[in-house]
Amino acid sequence: MIAYLARRLLVMVPTLLAISAIVFFIIQLPPGDYLSTMVEELLAQGEKPDGERIAMLREQFGLDRTPLEQYLHWVAGLAVGDLGWSFEYNLPVSQVVGEKLVMSFLLAFAATLLTYAIAFPIGIYSAVRQYSIGDYALTFVGFIGLATPSFLIALVVLHFSNAWFGTPVGGLYHPEHAEAPMSWAKLGSVLSHIWIPIVIIGLSSTAEMIRQLRANLLDELQRPYVVTGRAKGLTERRLLFKYPLRMALNPFIADIGSILPKLISGSAIVGVVLSLPTNGPMLLRALQSKDMYLAGSFLMIEAVLVVLGILISDIALALLDPRIRLGAGSEK
């Protein structure tokens, strides 16, 4: 077990190095850098940029060095936990990201739980009562959910809550708490606001999960071992939970690898629409303004989470499925 973990962790190093190179390369692809983008914005606004100050900043930010030097500098920093400096916020990246990390995590975690809570009962019902009226109705609703982009739902909710309740739903708390430290009042405000993005983000993946669970379960329900269980005299409910449902879970556990990064980045577009203080909109902004260390480091955090998530799901699968744990004689 320990040797296995050590091997897996070791393999992560070259993987992450490769990802860092690709991330940095892609961020560098559009012409110009943060300062030239800023100069253009200033010119567009009719202001005259101060050439000397720009040159000073360029040297200070290290933008006058070659891309390779910049990359090595960044990666060397990452290796010791220094995520770099955000040009736009004029703060260390760790501070910029950290502030929003808690909110993003809270939001996404709740949304994921909601997704599971809705999708599992419906998915099981749809599979067990295949082609019943209930299955058709839920399938119909599910397909509408699948076909509607979540930012659209966000806009609709935004409009109606404003028109009917007169409350602005943007953000996660009332504007008066924006700069205030955490307090009971602020927490209350968060709780009264947060359910809207939770429902919107949570519902967006529910439909997909219902369909996936239904398909998996339908496959498993017609396996001979289900008939064997029935022939033993098991009740339908116990039979369902002990055998086919257990087998249908594997793909969801394998999915942990993609859930983890979602937890911190959230859905960017919904975040923008609802002006949530989460990481999604921040990443979008950082990419637009070429705030390269902020964008790059943030993407690297996601990459680490993907790789860790896959490791966690591999271990969870092995613990759950003896075929993987005991190695059913793979031949070559």
Partner 1 sequence: MNEDLLRVEDVAIEFRVHDSVVRAVDGVSFRVRPGSTVAIVGESGSGKSVVSQAILGILPKTARIAQGRILFADPKAPGGSIDIARLDPRGERMRKLRAAGISIVFQEPMTSLSPVHTVGDQVGEALALHEALQPAELAARVEDMLARVGFPDPRKAAASYPFELSGGLRQRAVIAMALICRPSLVIADEPTTALDVTIQAQILKLLKDLQASLGMAVMLITHDLGVVANMADEVVVMYRGRVMESGTRDDLLRRPRHPYLKALLRAVPRFDMKPDERLTPLREIRPETGHLLAAREEWPAGADEAGPLLRVEGLTRSFLVRKGGFFEKRTETRFLAVDDVSFELRRGECLGLVGESGCGKTTVSKMVLRALSPDSGKVLFNDRGRVRDVHAMGPEELFSFRRRIQFIFQDPYSSLNPRMTVAESIGEPLVIHGIGDEAWRREMIAELMKLVGLDARWAGRYPHSFSGGQRQRIGIARALALKPDILLCDEPVSALDVSIQAQILNLLKDLKQQLGLTYLFVSHNLAVVDYIADRIAVMCRGRLVEVAPREALFRRPVHPYTRALLAAVPDPDPDRRLDLGALMEGRASVPAAWPMPFRLDGTEQAGLVDLGDGHRVRARRGATAADILSGRAA
The contact set with partner 1 (CB under 8 A) reads 1, 3-4, 223-225, 227-236, 242-243, 246-247, 318, 320-332
* Smallest distance from partner 1 to CB 213, Å: 18
In the numeric block, which tokens belong to residue 328? 């059913």
Judged by CB, which is closer to partner 1: 132, or 162? 132
Query: What distance in Å separates the CA atoms of residue 261 and residue 327, rounded to the nearest whole number?
Result: 29
* Smallest distance from partner 1 to CB 302, Å: 27
Angle, CA of 76, 85 and 291, to the nearest 5°: 110
Judged by CB, which is closer to partner 1: 166, or 224? 224
In the numeric block, which tokens belong to residue 225? 């071992």
* Smallest distance from partner 1 to CB 49, Å: 60
Judged by CB, which is closer to partner 1: 11, or 320? 320
Rg (CA), the chain: 25
Query: What distance in Å separates the CA atoms of residue 315 and residue 237, rounded to the nearest whole number?
Result: 29
* Smallest distance from partner 1 to CB 217, Å: 15
Judged by CB, which is closer to partner 1: 247, or 254? 247
Query: What distance in Å separates the CA atoms of residue 27 and residue 287, rounded to the nearest whole number?
Result: 7
Judged by CB, which is closer to partner 1: 67, or 322? 322
* Smallest distance from partner 1 to CB 324, Å: 6
* Smallest distance from partner 1 to CB 233, Å: 4
The helix/strand/coil state of 180 is: coil
The helix/strand/coil state of 7 is: helix
Judged by CB, which is closer to partner 1: 25, or 225? 225
DSSP string, 272-286: HHTT-SSHHHHHHHH
